[in-house]
Amino acid sequence: MREALFDVVFFGILQAGKDKNTAMNNMAQLFKTDLTHIKHFFSGNRKVIKHNINAAAAEKYIGALENIGLVVKLEASSDSTDAESDRLAQPVTDKTTASNRTPENHITPVNATLAPPGVDIIENPQPVLAQKIADISTITLAETGADILVHPVQQKKQKIADISQLSLAEVGSDLLEKPTS
């Protein structure tokens, strides 16, 4: 059985808080190339950074690319002739359920990660046209804690009834007398 081969894939997604220009410059340095050769990787389309490499080499690429702020994905190489990769690539039919899976048609979990919160995951984002903003140079901010309502609504103070006889239930108590299902 041949060793499984993988592709390291990039969709132009950066880790949360990472700057695109810095990531592009770091990637150019990492691959010892000019920035013009790197820009196409940040188009938002699927780009294979490294093709047909073994798992150990793939982990090194992933580590280096994540260190510079990229979110990368590891995919089984389409050129891999490994029997396990071929078996994993077979589609699962609706008739395949957990109860009737056999070693021949089960799905092996893929080692995948979620993008960090706040990361833009749109593969082909549509450009947004810049809009003209009116002159806002006269707008100022109030001091911290300032009351910014010019004419606040005055509410009458309400008398609170005596609540000294009330107590709290024990932590974890079921407060519903007749819970509904």
**Which residues neighbour 79 within 8 Å (Cβ) at sequence distance 6 or greater?**
5, 51, 52
Q: Where are the beta strands (DSSP E) in the chain?
A: 6-14, 47-53, 70-76
Model pLDDT, residue 64: 92
How much is the pLDDT for 91? 41
d(CA 168, CA 170): 7
How many angstroms separate the Cα of 3 from the Cα of each of 51, 84, 85, 108? 14, 10, 10, 17
Report the percentage of the chain scoring pLDDT > 90: 21
User: Hey, where are the domains in the chain?
Assistant: 6-93
Model confidence pTM above 0.95: no
Phi then psi dihedrals of residue 84, to 5 deg: -65, -45
Query: pLDDT at position 103, please?
Result: 43
Dist. CA 81–CA 87, nearest whole Å: 10
What is the C-alpha to C-alpha distance for residues 2 and 6, in angstroms, rounded to an integer? 13
Question: Is there a contact between 4 and 46 (Cβ–Cβ < 8 Å)?
Answer: no
pLDDT of residue 80: 54
Tens of pLDDT along the chain (181 residues) come to 578 899 999 998 999 889 999 999 999 999 999 988 888 888 888 899 999 999 899 999 999 999 999 999 989 887 654 444 444 444 444 444 444 444 444 455 556 677 788 777 776 777 778 888 888 888 888 888 888 877 778 888 888 888 888 888 888 887 777 666 5
